Chains A and B, each alone.
Chain A
């Protein structure tokens, strides 16, 4: 019996080991490596030995205005996801769920489509759309009758996040719509029917029955939105031109990339970049914690 167990364990390990080896060495090990790196003076040109530096890079990061600028932009992206994509996705899902439009499968697949297209292609397309002599400017000229009207929001540092936010909403709302729709369809239809018979109006059904039942989904979506927004790199990278425009629209992953792989003047660029990416992870964990806490309190309120 004992021997059979041991043999089974060998087989178990045989099945699990190849995948686990790759996973641990490429996903788990770098996590620790990244933390170590951020506390050292690691210099790739000096043989790669790292002396302990304490919080040097983190301090430098907090004193760098570029970090705060990227953080601010990143918070805008988070806000667009949590307060833009999620509510809009929810409303779209609700419309589909209550069958207020026909051809719902067609509309659903159209809104969901951008998810699966290359972010780079989409970024390049939106960039084309928004250039000063592009289609959006043409539409503005037709609408206002002013032949010199131009779409210049991408060019001004204080407004560059507006067109980016629009592109983000268009791209990712479909994801939340699909999640909400799946959870709406799992709900008990009888409850809504009963409420209708009792004379509940559409807004009442929505506010008193459907919304409370979906608190869990809203929290899960928020977590995904926060985590996704803080690691988002491709779309903003492709929508902006290298140089001033990208700096204006910089978010933390772009700041990290530009520091580690572009700023050759800084000998400790990898260590500094690692500090930034660790900060991104820390910020997302804190924000996810907060959203979970808020969600828990909201659902408690509903029970009583």
Chain B
């Protein structure tokens, strides 16, 4: 009797220790995951000077910018103007920030002289002015520009606008084709006769699991060069579709096998064609697994790096990961821009992840166990 009591007492102690250890492990793991991401997010709203001064402090300068000093400068040829000097001939005063990248012509504004009050009109080169002294509309404009400084620079100077669009094109078009072709194949495999042919197909697609883009990157590069699809959107999309097929076929045929065959048979009796049966009866019922496959493929393509690195040589076809990578090695000194670029590349993926968390988890498990 006392033995049992002792036993349960010691197991109670062990249980408590186990609980504490468990919490320590999970909480610290969560912190390691989340702290760099939070740091990255708020630091992307800091100016470069602020980052060098204190890399951990919260952003301040870009928001509290009313007392920022600006110097009147002579505009250089390479200064990016926010108006077209060929069309707009009005006289302007060019001012540059003294706090954000001073002397580097990155934070420059052109004030239309005739809209300014006389004390500003009379400023000469080398004079300084604070944002507070400028007229209201300009003040608000500079205020907004300052807050978005890193993000605008990343999008415009890093060319991330086009790369963002490319990433969306690759992820959406490829995913659409993967779903369409994958579910057509799965329908044939699971709901049409010819069992032997279907088994062969399953083996062929199953083997595709063992093959990855890195192991075929050289022949892919040479082939795409030969057929002229190198550095084109189509070439990249075709590769993504081909490598997305195995998972799509395996997951959706597994799901379709669970749907009653009588559905298909009665549709045939009613005179529906094969494609019609697939399109209006089976496909709508497959929606849950289609969503799972879509998210898995789209996220995979969104984050894919090596294929774009090798196949896309022009800015016109590059996607975000490659853009962010080359941007980060080019702008080693502009940490604020880099961090903004990292946020641009991660935020969409994080939103999708947290929205479809449970589906994603189930899909990954189903894909792995099937192998």
| B contact patch SS | helix
Assembled-state Cα–Cα distance A233/B362 (Å):
26
Q: Of B26, B278, B349, which is within 8 A of A116 by CB? A: B349
Give every chain B residue within 8 A of A285 (Cβ-Cβ): 210
Are A30 and B184 neighbours in the complex by a CB distance under 8 Å? no
Residues in B340-371 with C-beta less than 8 Å from chain A: 342, 345-346, 349-350, 352-354, 357, 360-362, 364-365, 368-369, 371
B275 to chain A: closest CB distance in Å? 8
Query: Which has the most chain A C-beta neighbours within 10 Å: B222, B352, B357?
Result: B222
| Cβ 8 A contact of A234, one of B56, B305, B361 | B305
Q: Specify which chain A residues have a CB less than 8 angstroms from the CB of B328 in the assembled complex.
A: 124
Any A CB within 8 A of the CB of B109: no
B364 x A118 contact (CB < 8 A): no
Give the residues in chain A near B278, CB-CB below 8 Å. Answer: 15
Q: Contacts A100-B18, A224-B371 given: A117-B346 contact, CB under 8 Å?
A: yes
B58 at the A interface (CB under 8 A): no
Of B26, B40, B185, B357, the contact of A107 (CB 8 Å cutoff): B26
Does A165 reach chain B (CB closer than 8 Å)?
Answer: no
Min CB distance, B56 to chain A, in Å? 8
Which residues of the other chain, A, contact B187 by a CB distance below 8 angstroms?
Answer: 15
- A156–B328 alpha-carbon span in the complex (Å): 23
| A34-B218 in contact given A110-B29, A113-B33 (Cβ < 8 Å) | yes
Q: Which of A16, A20, A199, A202 has the most CB of B within 10 A?
A: A16
> In the complex, A169 Cα to B294 Cα: how many Å?
27
Chain A CB within 8 A of B128 CB: no
Q: A11-B274, A15-B278, A125-B36 are in contact. Are A31 and B305 (CB under 8 A)?
A: no
Determine chain A's interface SS by DSSP, over half rule.
helix
Stretch in A62-70, A71-79, A273-281, A295-303 with 4+ CB within 8 Å of B: A273-281
Verify if B197 is at the interface (C-beta below 8 Å from A).
Answer: yes
Residues A112 and B361 in contact in the complex (CB < 8 Å), given A92-B26, A274-B218: yes
A interface residues, tally (CB under 8 Å): 82
Tell me whether A37 is interfacial, beta carbon within 8 Å: yes
What's the least CB distance linking B139 to chain A, in Å? Answer: 35
B243 close to A (CB within 8 Å): yes
User: Which of B55, B222, B306 sits near A257, CB closer than 8 Å?
Assistant: B306
B22-A100 in contact (CB<8A): yes
Residue in A16, A114, A119, A256 whose CB lies within 8 Å of B33: A114
Chain A residues with CB below 8 A from B25, complex form: 91-92, 95
Check: A145 CB closer than 8 A to any chain B CB: no
- Report chain A residues within 8 Å CB of B302: 118
Residue with the greatest number of chain A CB neighbours at <10 A, chosen from B210, B242, B310, B328:
B242
A90-117: contact bitstring with B at CB < 8 Å (1 yes, 0 no)? 0110010000110000111111111111
Q: Which of B206-245 contact A (CB under 8 A)?
A: 208, 210-212, 214-223, 238-239, 241-243, 245
Shortest Cβ-Cβ A-B pairs, 8 listed: A19-B181, A26-B242, A30-B219, A15-B188, A11-B274, A182-B365, A33-B219, A110-B30
